[in-house]
Amino acid sequence: GFTDLSKLSKLARPMLGSGGRIYALKGEDAMEEITPELEKQFHITCKPYCLPVVDAQRVMVVLELLLNS
């Protein structure tokens, strides 16, 4: 789908300046979407959090464009 990290990064990358960031709110399986190709282009940070009330685990993924890509 559209929310796949690889597809999202391909669409957003042309609009990013040096060190630009993409923020994505993902399900708990977010780490499975991180590919070697993404790791070559971005510094990737994953911050887990829990949705209140429903007690569901989620991950905020931050893709920061590397200066040399």
What are the pLDDT digits (tens) for 21-35? Answer: 999 999 988 999 999
pLDDT for the residue numbered 2: 60
Which segment of 40-44, 54-58, 61-65 scores lowest on mean pLDDT?
Answer: 54-58
16-25: average pLDDT: 93
Chain-centroid distance of CA 9 in Å reads 8
- Contact call for residues 36 and 51 (beta carbons, < 8 A): no
Q: Please state, in angstroms and rounded to a whole number, the distance separating the CA atoms of residues 49 and 45.
A: 13
